[in-house]
Amino acid sequence: MPFHACGSARLDISSDSLRIDLDAGDTYVVPLNRLAGVMRGGVREAPLSRRYEGKPGEYTDVEGPHRLSRSRPGAAVVFVVDGAIYSIAMRPLQGVVHGEIPSAIVSQVITDAGQLSDASGRQATLEAF
């Protein structure tokens, strides 16, 4: 199953959460206390909130229908937004949560030919530079 990098996940100390920034400009957060249960495997899913930025330093988090869950083999956490499937590998995520690394890559699972063509085109463009 092909993946392509489409964002990053990092700690947001001010809200005690994991902040997920997608390249499309969307930002989501999941509270660290809820994420911990998913990472351990004791909890099936955690709520994913959409973050709306306001004035500098101000934001509003709105919990929606999206959920973050652990993949079946346990190698990643996954979430679905607007039909797109996103994944964050577990080892880098653990490094972020424990403060060992600043961020982890968020990848989109490529599920159809149109997405594969678009991702291949972007990769070819990146390799040209």
Distances in Å between the Cα of 8 and the Cα atoms of 42, 88, 113, 114 are: 25, 9, 24, 23
CB neighbours of 52 closer than 8 A, spacing ≥ 6?
A: 59, 60, 61, 62
Q: pLDDT of 19-69, one tens digit each?
A: 999 998 999 999 999 999 999 988 999 999 999 988 887 899 999 899 999
Q: What's the angle, vertex CA 35, arms to CA 52 and CA 93, rounded to 5? A: 90
Say how far apart CA 41 and CA 23 lie, in whole Å.
28
Q: pLDDT of 57-106, one tens digit each?
A: 789 999 989 999 999 888 999 999 988 999 999 999 999 999 999 999 99
pTM to 2 decimal places:
0.82
Instruction: Give the strand pairing for 104-109 and 27-31.
Output: unpaired
Q: pLDDT of 105-129, one tens digit each?
A: 999 988 765 544 554 444 443 343 3
Provide the residue ranges of all domains of the chain, joining segments of one domain with +: 3-128
- What's the pLDDT at 122? 46
Higher pLDDT, 12 or 115: 12
